[in-house]
Amino acid sequence: MRDDANQKAKSGRQNASSQPLQGPRDLRVYQLTYQVAMEIFKESKAFPKGERFSLTDQIRRSSRSVVANLAEAFRKRRYLNMFVNKLTDADAEAAETQVSAGLRP
């Protein structure tokens, strides 16, 4: 049973092609959040000019912060408390992005 757990842990550290993870960009969640952040940036260009320095900046910053926190979590993955802290920060920034997206004009 312990061998099964070790095998699952090892498989979780590898991407779909069974190559070891080289960095956070190999993580599917990182790739998806990066794509969303880029999409938010493009879409927010259409926001009214009056929102440029408030809502537009806020939604862009929080969406980029999700990606940055995931990258930091990857680097801190050996330290459980720090890893969880960075994932919690990423979750909080994702919630902030969702709220900001709901407030857009």
Q: What is the pLDDT along the chain (105 residues), one digit of tens a residue?
A: 445 444 544 444 444 567 888 999 999 999 999 999 999 999 988 888 887 778 889 999 999 999 999 999 999 999 999 999 999 999 999 999 999 888 765
Which residues is 20 bridged to in the sheet? 14
CB atoms within 10 A of CB 65: 19
Closest alpha carbon to 85 in 97, 72, 98: 72
Q: What is the pLDDT of residue 8?
A: 43
Q: Is the dihedral angle over the CA atoms 76, 78, 82, 84 positive or is it negative?
A: positive
The H or E element that residue 89 is part of is helix 80-103
Q: What is the pLDDT of residue 17?
A: 61
How far is Cα 49 from Cα 34, in angstroms, rounded to an integer? 25
- CB 37, CB 67: distance < 8 Å: yes
